[in-house]
Amino acid sequence: WAHSFGHTCELHGLVSVGGQIALVEAVDKIIANLAEVHPTLLFSVPRIFNRIYDNLHKQMAGKPPVIQSLFKAGIAAATKARKQGAGSLGLGEKLKLTLAKKLIFKKVVEKLGGKMQYAFSGGAALSKEVAEFIDALGITVYEGYGLTETSPIATANRPGAHRIGSVGKPIEHVKIVID
């Protein structure tokens, strides 16, 4: 593990609860490796999420304009629904989101292994745009904060207390003091 966040979450956290771990052979092969192992969650640093985001957007740029438009509208509608509730979507937005999920998002998630439900990011700030994109695909994004020198995880978002762009509250048994 090149980073204490991954070492703590993956090695100690997952193994302690009986989880399975898969390691990528090289950063440039991460998409292929995800498709191979079908993970349900991904612990990573923002650089990897940025790579996934950039790779998928490059692929989308080669698609017909109608698909690109539906993709963008679907991301926008999913983001709005997350922020304001599903009831905030108009009929056109609901239709675009439904189509985007069936025609595009499903294929994108399949490229990531097809089973991913959660993405955990730490080690640096995750771009809000990248986090919203991943979340819009139906993969819940959790962010956290810590310092290698003190604790790789000091704060984290969690179910019921999840907000994109936030590193969450202190984890159990951790006291944060600003001095």
pLDDT tens digit string along 138-163? 999 999 888 777 777 888 898 888 88
Contact yes or no for 96/73 (Cβ under 8 A)? yes
For position 117, what pLDDT does the model report? 95
For position 62, what pLDDT does the model report? 94
Compute the average pLDDT of residues 18-36.
Answer: 86
Specify burial of residue 121 (Cβ count, 10 A radius: 0-12, 13-18, 19+). Answer: buried
d(CA 71, CA 109): 13
Residues 80-130 have pLDDT tens digits of 999 898 899 999 999 999 999 999 999 999 999 999 999 998 878 899 999
For position 2, what pLDDT does the model report? 65
| Position 131 pLDDT exceeds 70 | yes
pTM: 0.86
User: Which stretch, 24-33, 65-74, 143-152, 167-176, has highest mean pLDDT?
Assistant: 65-74
CB count within 10 Å of CB 4 equals: 18
What average pLDDT does the chain have? 89
Which residue, chain included where needed, has tokens 């139906």? Answer: 138
| Position 3 pLDDT exceeds 80 | no
CA atoms 129, 135, 139, 144: torsion sign: positive
Beta bridge partners of 16: none
The alpha carbon torsion through 26, 118, 136, 113 (nearest 10 deg) reads 50
